[in-house]
Amino acid sequence: MAERNKRQRQAGDSPLEIMRIDRTTLTQDELAMRCGIPRATYQRWISGKTEARLSISQLKRLCEELKIERVDELPDNFAPIAPSE
C-alpha cells in the first residue's frame, strides 16, 4: 500500500480542512465519500463558495470520522479563515 503524503496545515485553510488533516489520515475524497457528500460539494464548502447544508446522517458521519463527540465542536462556518492583518 502506498504511503500517503499528509499535507501540512496552511494559513487560510478552512476549519473543516484543519480538522480533517489533524484528526484523520483521510483525503478530501475519502472523507466526503464516507460522509455521503459529493466531492465537489465538500470542496465548495472548504473554499467558501457555498455554505454547508448537511443532512442529519451526513452530520453524524462527519462527526464520527472527525472524532467529534459534541456537535458544538464543529465550526460554525467551513469557509477558509481570513488571515489577520
pLDDT, tens only, 1-54: 334 445 666 656 899 999 999 999 999 999 999 999 999 999 999 999 999 999
Confidence of residue 84 (pLDDT cuts 50, 70, 90): low
Residue 20: CB atoms within 10 Å: 25
Q: What is the per-residue pLDDT across 55-70, written as a single tens digit (0 to 9) for each? A: 999 999 999 999 999 9
Domains of the chain, first to last: 15-72 (1.10.260.40)
Compute the distance between CA of residue 11 and CA of residue 13 in angstroms, rounded to an integer: 6
Task: Please report, as a single letter, which amino acid is at residue 2.
Answer: A
Q: pTM for the whole thing?
A: 0.81
